[in-house]
């Protein structure tokens, strides 16, 4: 079970034990699935649960995800600031 599944299952109403409405926000959008998966892996490694969302008709039409909303990386609202810091572009240092 990945962090996305754990995230979806861990959000529960205290009284009922049923899943609570997810308070998820888009941490970042990507044009390619590969970029989105690399970013998700970075968040997972840092302990920030995340999940990917895209509309590619079950993977049968990946071009739809690129032309529509892209690949969206979702995190809990309370993790959004941490996710933004982890995903922040860093300058490349080239040693000569």
Per-residue pLDDT of the chain (96 residues; tens, 9 = 90+): 555 555 555 554 445 565 555 589 999 998 888 999 999 999 999 999 999 888 655 555 555 555 556 889 999 999 999 999 999 988 888 887
Question: What are the domain boundaries of the chain?
Answer: 23-87
**DSSP letters spanning 17-42:** -SBPPP-EEEEEEESSHHHHHHHHHH
Burial of 70 per CB tally in 10 Å (0-12, 13-18, 19+): buried
State the pTM of this model: 0.65
Residues contacting 46, CB < 8 A, separation 6+: 82, 86
Domain at 23-87: CATH architecture: 2-Layer Sandwich (3.30)
């Amino acid at each position: 079970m990945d962090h996305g599944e754990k995230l979806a299952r861990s959000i529960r109403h205290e009284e009922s034990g049923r899943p609570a409405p997810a308070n998820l926000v888009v941490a970042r959008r990507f044009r390619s699935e590969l970029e989105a998966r690399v970013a998700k892996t970075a968040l997972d490694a840092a302990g920030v649960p995340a999940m990917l969302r895209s509309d590619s008709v079950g993977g049968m039409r990946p071009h739809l995800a690129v032309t529509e909303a892209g690949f969206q990386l979702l995190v809990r609202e309370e993790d959004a600031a941490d996710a933004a810091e982890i995903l922040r572009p860093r300058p490349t240092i080239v040693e000569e």
